[in-house]
Amino acid sequence: MVCIAVLYPNLSGRTFDHEYYNQKHMPYLMDQLKSSGLIRYEIDKGLAGVAPGSSAPFICIARLYFNTLDDYQKAFSTHGTELLKDVPNYTNIEPQMQISQMTPS
């Protein structure tokens, strides 16, 4: 299984609409990508950094789970442009992305 982590840095002067992201964008993404292999997703809302009183380094982290890297690549080559058009509806932050191989525990 692979995990695609989409990390939104917590930057001064930037905005992120968690309600829109949770209620509209991610369900839409699931609807579009489920038939292409998206198994599930998770959303983390940053609360704090490690040091007491510090800000979270990321305002949001989404994790998308696919069985294979090929499934992810096919899904986003088909639907990626359409999904990216929705980004301005919830943020003006350019996300960072990482693809990881999941190791069973």
Q: What pLDDT score was predicted for residue 87?
A: 96
Q: What is the mean pLDDT of the chain?
A: 95
58 class by beta-carbon count within 10 Å (0-12 exposed, 13-18 middle, 19+ buried)? buried
CATH of residue 14: 3.30.70.100
SS (H, E, C) the chain: CEEEEEEEECCCCCCECHHHHHHHHHHHHHHHHHHHCEEEEEEEECCCCCCCCCCCCEEEEEEEEECCHHHHHHHHHHHHHHHHCCHHHCECCCCEEEEEECCCC
Give residue-wise pLDDT tens across range 24-64.
Answer: 999 999 999 999 999 999 999 999 999 999 999 999 999 99
> What mean pLDDT do residues 60-78 have?
96
Whole-number percent of the chain with pLDDT over 70: 100
The whole domain housing 11 covers 2-101
Report how many domains make up the chain: 1
Q: What angle do CA 59, 64, 66 make, to 5 degrees?
A: 165
pTM of the model: 0.91
